[in-house]
Amino acid sequence: MSCIFCKIVNNEIPSSKVYEDDRVLAFRDAAPIAPTHILFVPKRHMASMAEITPGDAELIGHIFAKIADAAREEGCSDSGYRVASNCGADACQTVGHLHFHLIGGRKLTPHAG
């Protein structure tokens, strides 16, 4: 598979891991836009949010719980943080694997990181 996130999940490409379990991997963004910029990806390949079904509710809930944990660990939970996921080309999704950005650690602008 040519998906860069699948290669990271399979340890074919190194990453700066923050969290990992049997369903999700979290790692620091290679080009961070804030002091805290962590990507959360399901280990199972899903192209985008458009592929989420009701059967994925537990997985997505688990990912969001891990995002909240990481925000607390990174020290940005009280001051605030952003969770973003682009879906499709018009939304500027650049990697075709569902992922969520945890962005924080500084005052964010209204329309961008």
Mean pLDDT of 56-77: 97
Q: What is the pLDDT of residue 61?
A: 98
Whether 62 sits among the annotated catalytic residues: the reply is no
Looking at residue 92, its pLDDT comes to 87
Which pTM does this prediction carry?
Answer: 0.93
Question: Residue ranges of the alpha helices (H) in the chain?
Answer: 4-9, 57-74
Residue 1 has what pLDDT? 60
Q: What is the pLDDT of residue 110?
A: 85
The CA distance from 44 to 90, in Å, is 24
Which residue is catalytic, options 37, 62, 97, 99? 99
List of domains in the chain = 4-104 (3.30.428.10)
Q: In what order do the strands lie in the sheet with 81-84?
A: 17-20, 24-28, 36-42, 100-104, 81-84
pLDDT, residue 2, reads 85
Q: Three-state DSSP class for 22?
A: coil
